Structure 1
């Protein structure tokens, strides 16, 4: 054998090493967004299976509030209206937001479950027929760093309609 020649066994060994390096790269998963990992139920020795979720990733840059207003309260509500959000977790720390959108429909609650992907909102309480609840999406302007938002938390939402309040008005003065 001359120096500089490559034997078939060398090529096989090199290909095996390259495949092992590629397999190792596939063991690392990088999040597509900034966020928090939750529902991680893996233990040492757990086997990950392709296309099967192993954890949940909560995107910290995509929080919003889904508020459900009675239909008789939304006639003057518009996208862009100022909203004051009070989280049950932080009752003394109201946060300013803006109405992003108002829902265009809800599913009737006649036993169907979300017909045409519209949210089902129960309009009855005991024997009294209540006004329908229409979803209103609110985006928060700036959340203080010491407030930890959690998906599914309860919030109260006050929407100021009519466009008479500007962003310069302090949140606390709006609540008095």
Structure 2
């Protein structure tokens, strides 16, 4: 008796249906996961940088760093020849010493002039008293002439004495005014001393500026000079990366920004070593990017992010700046490609497992 062959068609149909159902479930799970934990590989490492510029002109006498070297805050970066500034400081200090001696000498002269003025003032008082006495004598003597108690000669002598004392008083007053005018003082020299002190302060500051030290822990980059090169004030010598804090700037679609705020936990890793994960938090979210349609021209400084599809309208992306906790100083370099995952709506412990 022959057994009829089993028809495999229904089983294949059920298998296809099951695969489709599993695929849909996986797709829904991925969409749900992406909505809960936005992720992007359009990210890069960033750190703050400064241009290291001298504040005085001079030839570089010592270059204490090399390109790509790590430095600590306070380390010597380079030394500009200090001799011109040392000479300027010594000259200003010598000017102050000479001016102090001149002030002391002038003060002694002023003291003598003041003594002369005081003496002249005393002479005026004596002359004024003598003139007053002579006038009183004349006033008492003149009426006695008509009564015969005094002679005409006595009256003439009294009148002459009165005129003489008046002349002496006028001379004494003139001498007193001249003595007072001669008291010049040292105000001008004292004002000049303030100018010299300001010159000393500037010379001291310039001498300090000749020594350039690291303002923070960092790494030297773009060093293209050497000892002996003339450095001009306010012109960069090299760039210093601030390695005290590293960031990852990740570009997220505008539809993913809902629920993301400052402090949102994040996990990042670098493509140079995808095996290491680094925790972080959102430091800030950009409030402007440069549009690339409609002919709108905005001032420079706004981020310009290319859209990958030109034939359909895609969501704009905005930079999200993530502060990285405990970054590996050997891995983090500005511009390194990175991947970032955010955990909106979670506590500060999210993404730390």
TM-score (norm 1): 0.74
Contact 2:270-2:337 at 8 Å conserved across structures: yes
Q: CA deviation at 1:130?
A: 2.2
Long gaps (5+) in structure 1 = 1-13, 171-176
RMSD: 2.8
* Structure number with higher helix proportion: 2
Matches of 1:169 and 1:126, distance apart in 2 = 38
With a CA cutoff of 8 Å and minimum separation of 6, indicate the structure with the bigger relative contact order.
Answer: 2
Match of 1:75 among 246, 258, 279: 258
Match of 2:90 among 18, 23, 44: 18
> 1:85 is matched with which residue?
268
Provide the aligned length of Structure 1 versus Structure 2: 155
5 Å matches for 1:22-41?
25-41=208-224
Contact 2:245-2:324 at 8 Å conserved across structures: no
Match of 1:122 among 282, 302, 306: 306
Contact 2:280-2:323 at 8 Å conserved across structures: yes
> 1:141 is matched with which residue?
325
- Does residue 1:150 correspond to 2:222, yes or no? no
Matches of 2:298 and 2:304, distance apart in 1 = 5
Matches of 1:86 and 1:65, distance apart in 2 = 9
Larger Rg computed on CA atoms:
2
Long gaps (5+) in structure 2 = 1-85, 92-202
Q: CA deviation at 1:82?
A: 1.1
Matches of 1:114 and 1:62, distance apart in 2 = 30
**1:51-79: CA deviation from partner (whole Å, max 9, x where unpaired):** 11010000111321111001111112222
